Amino acid sequence: MRILESGEAGDLLARRGARMAEAEAVVRPILEAVRERGDAAVFEYSRRFDGIEARDHTVSTAGAAGRLSPEFRAAIETAAAHVRAYAEWQMPREWAREMAPGLRLGQIVRPLEAVAAYIPSGRYPLPSTVVMTVVPAQVAGVPRVCIASPRPAREVLGTAELLGVDRVFRIGGAQAIAAFAFGTETVPRADRIVGPGNIYVAAAKKLLAGEVGIDFVAGPTEILMVAADGEPRHLAADMLAQAEHDVDASAVLLTTSRRLAEAVAAEVERQLALLPTAEVARQAIERNSAAVIVDSLDAAIDLANRFAPEHLSIPDAALLAKVKHAGSVFVGPFSPEAAGDYASGPNHVLPTGGAARVRGGLSVLDYVKVISVQELTLGALAGLAPAITALARAEGLEAHARSVEERIP
């Protein structure tokens, strides 16, 4: 693993241009075909890209939970309970207040009608993503939750059944995103599509944003770790936990200690030799990862804020006040990123590629609408009339002004 000075980290920390433009060119005709031909186009692309010959998108979850091991089932139940509790704490509340005599304001909260969760099924099955995408929707009260996965593993189907989701569709890629964006003869239209995917899934979500709600356009996964000291074994293990996701994954350690950087680099090599996923992890470490020597922890946090990482690991809570941009923050030596990936409670579907500058991770807020409510008495309207009519006429909207004046005796 490379060890760099902070001045050498520019290329490393600069966003690698994911082949988004190329992916969009590939995806655009797929989206249009599904829009025009519905299921026929979905079946065609499923055969071409995923080797799926079935003429029915749906997959039954009946009995899948019974095929899970007791240990796995208990793990899902623990994770789901924590994710559910966290989502309940996040849930916005309805309220109504009197701002002034006769002027009552408030908000009501309503769930989306239908949500589709995309669950990748490439290198690794991701039943944890079923938990992360489905449970907040249930907390929000979404009445129809669907899952799309081109080759749903037994664990994915079992987790879906445990959570009470029986609408699983064996479709993937851009055609799955298009199917839920437009609706087909057999695939229901969704209000929002959530969940991670490859670059073609990301490109499809980007092109269809506006026609359907999305969480965000996600790129390769990333972690930025800040440490002045610590246990090299633990830091190296955290870097490899991120690196094993994908050859494009990125794991960066920002440290004030060259000795620590060298110890972590040595530990990465030692652990790689014993890691079953080393073929993937080594490429991510060599291509996209490094330890970077910085002058101070403040400098490290400044660099982290410029990068706006998906995952940010910091040594203690004293630095939290300085964190401006991150998808999720992991505080202290016993808060590995893997805890958030699976069971601690916050969502693991997180913004990448700098999107953490404008939003946090997937949450219950992605599944609800907060609708404003206002009720005025005649007296309250009369009191506001001068401000309303003056603003309306300044904008040239005479009918707006008169709609108020017509009500005032």
Amino acid making up residue 239: M
Catalytic-residue membership of 245: no
Residue 381 DSSP SS3: helix
Residue among 162, 190, 165 at smallest CA distance from 65: 162
Helix or strand holding residue 385 (H, E): helix 378-394
Active site residue 400: no
User: Helix 278-288 and helix 232-243: axis angle, to 10°?
Assistant: 100
| Residue 5 phi, psi (nearest 5) | -80, 155
CB atoms within 10 A of CB 253: 29
Cβ(221)–Cβ(249) under 8 Å? yes
Cα 230 to the chain's mean position, in Å? 29
Q: Which long-range contacts (CB under 8 A, 24 or more apart) does 297-301 make?
A: 297/226, 297/228, 297/256, 298/322, 299/6, 300/226, 300/254, 300/255, 300/256, 301/226
In the structure encoding, which two tokens stand for residue 367, read together? 């599944």
By CB atoms closer than 10 A (0-12, 13-18, 19+), residue 242 is: buried
Which residue in the list 82, 311, 325, 348 is annotated as catalytic?
A: 311
Given 244, 310, 325, 348, the catalytic residue = 310
144-148 vs 95-100, strand pairing mode: unpaired
> What DSSP string describes 157-177?
HHHHHHTT---EE---HHHHH
CA 121 to chain centre: 17
The catalytic site residues sit at 310-311
